Chain A
Amino acid sequence: MTPALELHEVTAGYRRQDVLCGLSLTVAEGEWVALLGPNGAGKSTLFRVLTGLHPAAAGTLRLFGRDLRAIRPAERARLVAVVPQELATPMAFTVEELVTLGRLSVLSRWARPVAADRRIMERAMAYTDVLELRDRPYDELSGGEQQRVAIALALAQEPRLILLDEPTAHLDINHRLEILQLIERLNVERKLTVLLISHDLNLAAEFCGRLVLLDHGRIVADGPPAAVLREDLLREVYHCDLRVRPDAAGTPVVAPDRKPKSIPPGQTVRVHVICGGGSGLELLRHLRLAGHQVTCGVLNAGDSDARAAAALDAELALEEPFSPIGDAALDRARQLAAGASAVVLCDVPFGPGNVVNLTLAEEALARGARVLINSHQLDRRDFTPGREALPRLTSLFACGALPWLRLDEVLAQLAAGRPPSKSAG
């Protein structure tokens, strides 16, 4: 099958500098490819070259096997359609009037749209769910609706390849998903070849089977999300610190790596966190952001808190998944907690498997370290057979442990320095 798009050694640019430098790319019919890259990488220029808006200085460019330069504008409009970042007109056209323009290259100059054209327009509007908006002025629609109209306009061209230039840049997350799901349907059901420029690496990874990373007019990576969204590669291309972690379903997720705030060394402390089941996620992150040194455990390997702690480079005491905490792990946690000036207990339930973690708090308190305990519904967190956790927690409070409910209380306590020394009970 002839590829939808074939670029060979394409060079293009503006007066002084080349924006695309010998770029080669082949896109098979029916593929959905996301073009990624920092601003100025050449993504938009590539689009302009693909539609013949900007001439290529060198190289060959084939659309469905045909040399782009040999294709007349009206024919080209039936092969490639473009959805811009924002479709805007200064005049108050209705939705239907705009969608009609998708048939521009086909309609007779002398006559109104014939039934066949109207059917195509209606199908495009039905597909994008704007049929009931057809008589509404376009400028009065919401951002998501306007973008659906822009896609309907492109569909009315009945193209085989659709180019989308950051179609979701101005939309909120809900409408982003809606538009991308619509594109997904076009790709799957209508076998439309899709080329999408996106700055949202995560959504691109979520939806597109193939990512192409551009930098300085060259392709630096091309392949499935896991092969393209690599920390080393992205750091180099985007010139910033970021982290890539697989999400629950295995799709890589890119997030900026915030540097901890530089707090004077004297004010940062070493904190040991006792958590589990996601109860420590927020706290761990904020402790790291505040610059504190964090240790954590005992946790079961694979616990969401354990993953988060590892991602934050916190030292961990780990037990096998779904196993009660054994002596080896507890000893490891003891070592970690021994160096901490504070131990923080999160809103974690206690059962026979993890109740030994309370020992860490008791020992810390005895040592004179601060102990902060989340006091949210304490009586409902005791799942031990002999209800032993609750009395131990109560006696911890009696011996000087402090209750907390909100993150900022913990951070304030830690920042306040050592509390007035209290003789260990």
Chain B
Amino acid sequence: MRKSWIPWLLLAVAPLVLGGALLIGPTPVALLDPHTALGRAVLLLRLNRVGAGFAVGAALAGAGVVLQALLRNPLAEPYVLGVSSGAALGAALAIFFGLTTLGALVLPASAFTLGLATMALVYALGSHHGAPSLYGLLLSGVIVSAVASSLLMLLISLAPVEGLHSITWWMLGNLQSASGPLLAGCVALMAIAGGGVWLFARELDALTLGREMAHHLGARPGLVVGLGLAGATLLTAAAVALAGLIGFVGLVVPHVMRSLIGPAHRRLLPAAALAGGLLLVLCDALARTVAAPLEVPVGVVTALLGGPFFIVVLRRRRKAGWVE
């Protein structure tokens, strides 16, 4: 049964979740007083963090929705497909060679470049005669992801001590470091990519009927697949540039939302983005408090949450709005 009120409920609880997340942290709530310099600083940090969390979660969920539709594959997700690892490698290379000082968008740009290359590689490896197969994509994703991660390790072992810490981050997934300009740049990229993909939402619907049928309906399948993959990769790259490797948000959220409100992408895409943003903000709040005063990387929290879910989805694909 469709529950079309779910997006409105999410919209209603969003202020509560975001506001609540602002109040949680190692420093006491009283220090958030915007009239003191310290209070302003803490508030700004927390705003940045909550904003980054929401943007990254929304982007990953959106990317998951798009990839699952384009590849007609319920297990497609930036992390599983290796796009995240590729983007992280790109970001790490930028850090390693000290290119990040050139501008706020260098990090997402290099993440996007390598992410796109990874996507193309995985797609090519996982396809037979131009048609990607479900398990072919998963396998090639795992392989390419492993290679990208090894290269990341190589970079870490070669990096000088001060660079080491920031690169290690991409491996773990963390929302701590988002600076103002980087956050603004990445959010702008995400908005462009997400909005652009949303304009092709009906074409995504049509593509789930297969490329031939989409063609008969008047869509341009080649163009839509290309734009969609680029859009999903850009969303992922921006998310990785902001927060490193955060897995499974792009898998869990699209599935849950699709089963709740149906697969029509004009509705699903914004709803999944909203839910993904809120989920990651919640996960980050958990990451900050569960072992306080220490912090757990938020990527660890989402992986612990998403791993079991992945197995459930793999075993019971019929649920969660998938037919096959």
Interface residues of chain A, those whose CB is within 8 Å of chain B, are 48, 51-53, 73-78, 80-82, 84, 87-94, 97-98, 100-102, 104-105, 107, 109-110, 135, 139, 153, 157
Nearest CB of B to A69, in Å:
15
Given A89-B209, A90-B324, A97-B205, A74-B218 contact (CB < 8 Å):
yes
Chain B 1-20 interface residues, beta-carbon cutoff 8 Å to A: 2
Contact with A along B179-222 (1 / 0, CB 8 A): 00000000000000000000110110110111011011111100
Q: Complex: how many Å from CA A379 to CA B74?
A: 71
Contact with A along B236-267 (1 / 0, CB 8 A): 00000000000000000000001000111000
| B217:A101 contact, CB within 8 angstroms | yes
| A90:B323 contact, CB within 8 angstroms | yes
| B219:A73 contact, CB within 8 angstroms | yes
Q: Complex: how many Å from CA A94 to CA B74?
A: 18
Q: Complex: how many Å from CA A30 to CA B267?
A: 39
| B209:A97 contact, CB within 8 angstroms | no
Interface size on B, residues (CB 8 A): 29
Q: A53-B216, A93-B263 are in contact. List 4 more A-B contacts (CB 8 A).
A: A77-B216, A101-B209, A139-B323, A157-B217
Q: Complex: how many Å from CA A88 to CA B321?
A: 14
Nearest CB of B to A160, in Å:
14
Cβ contacts under 8 Å, A109 to chain B? 199-200, 202
| A93:B262 contact, CB within 8 angstroms | yes
Give 20 pairs: A residue, B residue, CB < 8 Å, sorted on A: A51-B215, A53-B215, A76-B218, A81-B216, A87-B209, A88-B209, A90-B208, A92-B321, A93-B208, A97-B205, A101-B205, A101-B206, A101-B209, A102-B217, A104-B206, A105-B218, A109-B200, A110-B199, A153-B217, A157-B218
Q: Complex: how many Å from CA A75 to CA B220?
A: 12
| B202:A104 contact, CB within 8 angstroms | yes
Nearest CB of B to A313, in Å:
47
| A84:B218 contact, CB within 8 angstroms | no
* Residue B288 at the chain A interface, CB threshold 8 Å: no
Selected from A74, A76, A81, A100, the residue in CB contact (under 8 A) with B202 is: A100
| A82:B208 contact, CB within 8 angstroms | no
Cβ contacts under 8 Å, B205 to chain A? 93, 97, 100-101
Given A88-B210, A139-B323, A104-B219 contact (CB < 8 Å):
yes
| A77:B217 contact, CB within 8 angstroms | yes
* Residue B322 at the chain A interface, CB threshold 8 Å: yes
* Residue B49 at the chain A interface, CB threshold 8 Å: no
Which of B69, B205, B217, B219 has the most chain A CB atoms inside 10 A of its CB?
Answer: B217
Chain B 266-324 interface residues, beta-carbon cutoff 8 Å to A: 321-324
Q: Complex: how many Å from CA A110 to CA B201?
A: 10
Q: Complex: how many Å from CA A52 to CA B209?
A: 18
Cβ contacts under 8 Å, A92 to chain B? 258, 262-263, 321-323
Cβ contacts under 8 Å, B324 to chain A? 90
The 5 A-B pairs at the shortest CB distance, nearest first, are namely A77-B218, A105-B218, A91-B263, A82-B216, A139-B323
Q: Complex: how many Å from CA A98 to CA B213?
A: 12
Nearest CB of B to A230, in Å:
34
| B202:A91 contact, CB within 8 angstroms | no
Q: Complex: how many Å from CA A180 to CA B74?
A: 36
Selected from B210, B218, B258, B264, the residue in CB contact (under 8 A) with A104 is: B218
Nearest CB of B to A114, in Å:
14
Selected from B74, B208, B212, B216, the residue in CB contact (under 8 A) with A89 is: B208
Nearest A residue to B74 via CB reads A90
Cβ contacts under 8 Å, A110 to chain B? 199
Selected from A51, A88, A139, the residue in CB contact (under 8 A) with B216 is: A51
Cβ contacts under 8 Å, A157 to chain B? 217-218
Nearest B residue to A163 via CB reads B216
| B202:A101 contact, CB within 8 angstroms | yes
Which of B69, B209, B215, B218 has the most chain A CB atoms inside 10 A of its CB?
Answer: B218
Selected from A52, A81, A94, the residue in CB contact (under 8 A) with B262 is: A94
| A104:B217 contact, CB within 8 angstroms | yes
Cβ contacts under 8 Å, B218 to chain A? 73-78, 104-105, 157
Q: Complex: how many Å from CA A102 to CA B216?
A: 9
Q: Complex: how many Å from CA A153 to CA B69?
A: 20
Cβ contacts under 8 Å, A87 to chain B? 209, 213
Cβ contacts under 8 Å, A81 to chain B? 216
Cβ contacts under 8 Å, B263 to chain A? 91-93, 97
Nearest CB of B to A164, in Å:
12
| A104:B203 contact, CB within 8 angstroms | yes
Cβ contacts under 8 Å, B215 to chain A? 51-53, 73
Cβ contacts under 8 Å, A94 to chain B? 2, 262
Cβ contacts under 8 Å, B321 to chain A? 91-92
Nearest B residue to A52 via CB reads B215
Given A91-B322, A92-B262, A101-B217, A53-B212 contact (CB < 8 Å):
yes
Cβ contacts under 8 Å, B210 to chain A? 88
Nearest A residue to B219 via CB reads A104
Q: Complex: how many Å from CA A101 to CA B208?
A: 11
Contact with A along B42-65 (1 / 0, CB 8 A): 000000000000000000000000
Cβ contacts under 8 Å, A74 to chain B? 218
Cβ contacts under 8 Å, A104 to chain B? 202-203, 206, 217-219
| A97:B264 contact, CB within 8 angstroms | yes
Nearest CB of A to B132, in Å:
13
Nearest CB of A to B313, in Å:
13
Nearest A residue to B208 via CB reads A89
Q: Complex: how many Å from CA A98 to CA B74?
A: 19
Q: Complex: how many Å from CA A90 to CA B264?
A: 12
Cβ contacts under 8 Å, A52 to chain B? 215
Cβ contacts under 8 Å, B219 to chain A? 73, 104-105
Nearest CB of A to B31, in Å:
45
Q: Complex: how many Å from CA A94 to CA B202?
A: 14
Q: Complex: how many Å from CA A82 to CA B206?
A: 13
Q: Complex: how many Å from CA A107 to CA B208?
A: 18
Contact with A along B63-80 (1 / 0, CB 8 A): 000000100101000000
Cβ contacts under 8 Å, A100 to chain B? 202, 205
Cβ contacts under 8 Å, B69 to chain A? 91
Cβ contacts under 8 Å, A153 to chain B? 217
Selected from A76, A78, A90, the residue in CB contact (under 8 A) with B72 is: A90
Nearest CB of A to B200, in Å:
7
Q: Complex: how many Å from CA A97 to CA B216?
A: 17
Nearest CB of B to A89, in Å:
4
Nearest CB of A to B144, in Å:
24
Q: Complex: how many Å from CA A51 to CA B217?
A: 10
Cβ contacts under 8 Å, A75 to chain B? 218
Nearest B residue to A96 via CB reads B264
Nearest A residue to B200 via CB reads A109
